[in-house]
A and B are shown apart, each in its own frame.
Chain A
Amino acid sequence: MANHILSVILFLPLAGAIVLLFLPRENKNAIRWVANMFALAGFIISLPLVPMFWAVKDQPGFKFVEGGANNWIPSIGAGYHIGIDGISFLLIMLTTLLGWIAVLCSWTAIQERVKEYYVWFLVLQAGMLGVFMALDFFLFYVFWEVMLVPMYLLIGIWGGPRKLYAAIKFFLYTLAGSVLMLLGILFLYFHHHGMTGEYTFDIQKIYQTSPSITGTAAVLLFFAFFIGFAIKVPMFPFHTWLPDAHVEAPTAGSVILAGVLLKMGTYGLIRFSIPLFPRVAMNPTVRGWMIGLSIVGIIYGALVSLMQKDMKKLVAYSSVSHLGFCTLGIFALNPLGLSGSVIQQINHGISTGALFLIVGILYERRHTREISEYGGISNVMPLYATITLIMFMSSLGLPLLNGFVGEFTILQGSYMENKYWAAWAVTGVILGAAYLLWLYQRVFFGNVTNPKNEHLHDLTPREVLTFAPLLIAAVWIGVYPKPFFEVLDQPVKAIVSTVRPDYPLNPPAPVKAQFAPAASGQAAAAGGSR
Chain B
Amino acid sequence: MPGFHRGDYLLALPMMLLTLFALGVLLIDLLLDRSSKVINAWAAFAGLAFSAAAVHNIQRAFADQAARGEPSSPFFAFSGTLMVDRFAVFFFYLFLAAAAITILMSVRYLEVEDEHHGEYYALILFSVVGMMCMAAGNDLILLFIGLELMAVSTYILVGFLRRDRRSNEAALKYLLLGAFSSGIFAYGLSLLYGLAGSTNLQQISMALGNAMAPGKARVVPAVALVTTAAGLFFKIAAVPFHQWAPDAYEGAPTSITGFMSVAGKASAWALLLRIFLFALGPMRPLYVPILVFVAIATMTGGNLAALTQSNVKRLFAYSSIAHVGYIMLGLIAGTAFLPNPDGIRGILVYLLVYTFMNLGVFGVIASLRRRDIIGDELDDLNGLFFKAPTEAVLMLTFLLSLAGIPPLAGFYGKYFIFLALIESGHYALATLAVIYVAVSAYYYLRVANAMFMRTAGDRVPVTISPGMWAGLAITGAATVVIGIYPEPFLRMVNWSMHVAQNPTVAQLLR
A and B form one complex: yes
- Give residues in A with beta carbon < 8 Å to B: 72-76, 141-142, 145-146, 148-149, 152-153, 156-157, 163-164, 167-168, 171-172, 175-176, 179-180, 182-183, 186-187, 189-190, 220
B213 at the interface (CB under 8 A from A): no
5 contacts between A and B (CB under 8 A): A146-B407, A152-B445, A167-B445, A168-B449, A176-B438
- Picked from B405, B434, B449, B486, the residue with its CB within 8 Å of the CB of A73 is B486
Q: Known contacts A183-B418, A186-B422, A190-B423; decide if A149 and B405 are in contact (CB<8 Å).
A: yes
Bitwise interface map of B from 430 to 453 toward A, beta carbon under 8 Å scored 1, else 0: 110011011001100110010011
Contact string, B485-502, partner A, CB cutoff 8 A, digits 1/0? 111001100100000000
Choice from B415, B430, B435, B487 contacting A74 with Cβ under 8 Å: B487
Instruction: Please judge, given known A-B contacts A153-B452, A168-B442, A168-B449, whether A175 and B437 are in contact too, CB under 8 Å.
Output: yes
Q: Chain A's nearest CB lies how many Å from the CB of B279?
A: 30
* B400 CB–A CB distance under 8 Å: yes
Residues of A within 8 A of B446 (CB): 168
* CB proximity of B453 to chain A, nearest CB, Å: 5
Collect the chain A residues with CB atoms within 8 Å of residue B407's CB. Answer: 142, 146
CA of A145 to CA of B438, assembled, Å: 12
Chain A residues near B427 (CB-CB < 8 A): 183, 220
Q: In this assembly, does B289 line the interface, its C-beta being within 8 Å of a C-beta of chain A?
A: no
Partner of A172, one of B423, B438, B449: B438
CB < 8 Å: which of A141, A163, A171, A190 contacts B441?
Answer: A171
What's the minimum C-beta distance from B396 to chain A, rounded to whole angstroms? 8
Q: Residue B419 at the A interface, CB < 8 A?
A: yes
- B461 at the A/B interface (Cβ < 8 Å)? no
B contact residues vs A (CB 8 Å cutoff): 400, 403-407, 411, 415, 418-419, 422-423, 427, 430-431, 434-435, 437-438, 441-442, 445-446, 449, 452-453, 485-487, 490-491, 494
Is A141's CB under 8 angstroms from B453's CB? no
Contact at A156–B406, with CB atoms within 8 Å?
no
Partner of A175, one of B431, B441, B487: B441
**Contact B423 A171, beta carbon cutoff 8 Å:** no
Distance from A167 Cβ to chain B, minimum over Cβ atoms (Å): 7
Contact call B418/A186, Cβ cutoff below 8 A: yes
List of B residues within 8 angstroms of A146 by Cβ? 405-407
Question: Which chain A residue has the least Cβ–Cβ distance from B397?
Answer: A149
Q: What's the nearest-Cβ distance from chain A to residue B496, in Å?
A: 13
Chain A's closest residue to B445 (CB) is: A168
Q: Which residues of B contact A171 (CB under 8 A)?
A: 441, 445
Q: Known contacts A149-B405, A156-B452, A183-B418; can you find 4 more A-B pairs with CB under 8 A?
A: A75-B490, A182-B434, A183-B434, A186-B418
Q: Are A183 and B453 in contact (CB under 8 A)?
A: no
Q: Which residues of B contact A72 (CB under 8 A)?
A: 487
Q: Smallest CB-CB separation from A158: which chain B residue? A: B453
A76 and B434 contact, Cβ closer than 8 Å, known pairs A167-B449, A190-B423 = no
A76 proximity list for chain B (CB < 8 A): 415, 419, 490
Cα separation A145 to B437 with both chains bound (whole Å): 13
A75 lies within 8 A of B419 (CB): no
On whether the beta carbons of B406 and A141 are closer than 8 Å, the reply is: yes
**CB of B381, distance to nearest CB on chain A (Å):** 14
Do A73 and B438 form a contact, CB below 8 Å, given A146-B407, A183-B418?
Answer: no
Listed from nearest, the 10 A-B pairs whose CB atoms lie closest are A179-B434, A176-B438, A186-B422, A142-B406, A75-B490, A175-B438, A156-B453, A142-B407, A179-B437, A145-B405
Centre residue among A74, A167, A171 by max chain B CB count within 10 A: A171
Complex interface: chain A residues within 8 A of B485 (CB): 73
Establish whether residues A156 and B449, one from each chain, have CB atoms under 8 Å apart when the complex forms: yes
Give the complex CA separation of A148 and B418 in angstroms. Answer: 21
CB neighbours (8 Å) of B442 from chain A are 168, 172
Q: Smallest Cβ distance from A281 to chain B, in angstroms?
A: 21
The binding surface of chain B is classed by DSSP as helix
Which single residue of chain A is at the shortest CB-CB distance from B435?
Answer: A176
Point out the residues of chain B lying under 8 angstroms from A180, CB to CB: 431, 434
Min CB–CB distance B199 → chain A (angstroms): 37
B441–A145 CB distance below 8 A: no
B339 to chain A, nearest CB (A): 15
Q: Which residue of B lies closest to A138 (CB)?
A: B406
Q: Report the separation of the CA atoms of residues A317 and B129 in the bound assembly, to the nearest whole angstrom.
A: 62
Task: Identify whether the interface residues of A are mostly helix, strand, loop, or mixed.
Answer: helix
Q: How far is the CA of A499 from the CA of B346 in the complex (A)?
A: 37
A72→B405 CA distance, assembly (Å): 18
Contacts of A189 in B (CB 8 A): 419
Contacts of B452 in A (CB 8 A): 153, 156-157
Most buried by A among B415, B434, B494: B434
Closest Cβ of chain B: how far from A131's Cβ, in Å?
13
**Among candidates B431, B449, B491, residue contacting A183 with C-beta atoms closer than 8 Å:** B431
Q: What is the minimal beta-carbon distance from A264 to any residue of chain B, in angstroms?
A: 16
Q: Let me know if A183 and B430 touch, CB within 8 A.
A: yes
- Complex CA distance for A145 and B403, rounded to whole angstroms: 11
Q: For residue A183, which residues in chain B have a CB less than 8 angstroms away from its CB?
A: 418, 422, 427, 430-431, 434
Q: Is the CB of B491 within 8 A of A75?
A: yes
- A181's nearest neighbour on chain B, judged by CB, is B434
Contact B487 A73 (CB under 8 A): yes
Among B400, B403, B422, B491, find the residue whose CB has the most chain A CB atoms closer than 10 A. B422
Contact: A190 with B422, CB < 8 Å?
A: yes
Closest to B404 in A: A179
In the bound complex, residues from chain B placing their C-beta under 8 Å from that of A186 are 418-419, 422-423
Complex alpha-carbon distance, A153 and B427, angstroms: 33
Q: Please report the C-alpha to C-alpha distance between residue A187 and residue B445 in the assembled complex, in whole angstroms.
A: 29
Residue contact A157 to B487, C-beta cutoff 8 Å? no
**In this complex, what residue of B is CB-closest to A153?**
B452
Chain A residues lying within 8 Å of B453, measured Cβ to Cβ, are: 156-157, 163-164, 167
When distances are taken between beta carbons in the complex, the residues of chain A under 8 Å from B404 are: 179
CA distance A152 to B449 in the complex (A): 10
The docked-state distance in angstroms from the alpha carbon of A171 to that of B442 is 9
Q: From residue B407, how far is it (CB to closest CB) to chain A in Å?
A: 5
Q: A164-B453, A180-B434 are in contact. Are A172 and B486 (CB under 8 A)?
A: no
Assess whether A187 is in contact with B431, with CB atoms less than 8 Å apart.
no
Known: A146-B407, A157-B452, A180-B431. A73 touches B441 (CB 8 A): no
> Which of B405, B411, B435, B485 has the most chain A CB atoms inside 10 A of its CB?
B405
Residues of A within 8 A of B490 (CB): 73, 75-76
Q: How far is the CA of A189 from the CA of B446 in the complex (A)?
A: 34
Q: Quick check: B406 and A179 within 8 Å, CB to CB?
A: no
B487 touches A75 (CB 8 A): yes
Residues of chain A within 8 A of B418, CB atoms compared: 182-183, 186
Closest to A220 in B: B427
Residues of B contacting A141 in the complex (Cβ-Cβ under 8 angstroms): 406
Which of B418, B427, B438 counts the most A-chain CB atoms under 10 A from its CB?
B438
Q: Which residues of B contact A190 (CB under 8 A)?
A: 422-423
> Bound complex: CA of A341 vs CA of B73, how far in Å?
61
A146 and B415 alpha carbons, distance in the complex (Å):
15
B400, B419, B422: the one contacting A149 at CB < 8 Å is B400
Residue numbers in A under 8 Å from B430 (CB-CB): 183
Whether A179 pairs with B449 at a CB distance below 8 angstroms is no
Please give me the residue from chain A that is nearest to B441 by CB atom.
Answer: A175
Complex Cα gap A152–B435 (Å): 19
Which residues of chain A come closer than 8 Å to B437, judged between CB atoms? 175, 179
- Give chain A residues whose Cβ lies under 8 Å from the Cβ of B419: 76, 186, 189
A164 to B449, CA, bound (A): 7
Contacts of A168 in B (CB 8 A): 442, 445-446, 449
CB-nearest residue of chain A to B406: A142
- Cα–Cα, bound, A74→B494 (Å): 13
A168 to B441, CA, bound (A): 9
Residues of A within 8 A of B435 (CB): 176, 179
Whether B438 and A179, one on each chain, are in contact in the complex, defined by CB atoms closer than 8 angstroms, is: yes
The residues of B that contact A148 with a CB separation of less than 8 Å are 405
A163 to B452: give the CA distance in the assembly, Å. Answer: 12
Min Cβ gap A262→B in Å is: 20
Are A75's CB and B494's CB within 8 A?
yes
Which A residues touch B411, using CB under 8 A? 145
* Chain A neighbourhood of B449, CB < 8 A: 156, 164, 167-168
